[in-house]
Structure 1
Amino acid sequence: MQTTVTSKGQVTIPRDVRQQFGLRQGVSVSFTVEGDHIAIRPASSARQAAVSGFGLIRSQRPGVPADFDVAALAVEAP
């Protein structure tokens, strides 16, 4: 496979290669020089590194103000 570098330094990654490595629009890639050639790899992202899934779901509720005092919710027992 062969492609041409544009005047802006851009190249088109062939569709078969993009599909094989899961490269979609917006995915970051990293370049490394290995001897006499260049290697391009998908960059690891925080999303890929998150094994637990914590923080991946967004709430539909409005956020809590930064100055919210939790102690104000406590009610003294009679």
Structure 2
Amino acid sequence: MEISTIVNRDGTVTIPKEIREQYGIPEGAKVYCVMNGYQLEMRVIGTKLPQSKTKYVSGFGMIKSDMPSVDPHFGL
């Protein structure tokens, strides 16, 4: 699934409704943003995986970048 969203003036990003529903992300969920090279990972605690209807577990998501991959040893 690939859905775009926009960063507003104060830096807020809305997680699209389809993703919130699929992963069971409730209002007030804690989201961790982790920088991983040129990728930004969003890790949401206390969500349910898409295939789970009843069991709540930790999950995570990743924002896809259109940037080309970079050698992790570049510039060292």
State TM-score, norm by structure 1.
0.51
Aligned length: 46
Q: What residue is the counterpart of 2:68 in the other structure?
A: none
**5+ long unaligned stretches in structure 1:** 49-78
CA offsets 1:10-44 (integer angstroms, 9 cap, x no match): 01111111112221111111110112110101136
Q: What residue is the counterpart of 1:13 in the other structure?
A: 15
Contact 1:30 1:42 in 2 (8 A): yes
AA aligned to 1:13 is I
Identical columns (%): 31
Secondary structure of the 1:19 match is helix
Which consecutive aligned stretches of 4+ in structure 1 deviate over 3 angstroms post-superposition? none
Higher strand share: 2
**5+ long unaligned stretches in structure 2:** 47-55, 57-76
- The higher-RCO structure (CA 8 Å, 6+ apart) is 2
Larger Rg over CA atoms: 1
Of 24, 28, 37, 1:35 maps to: 37
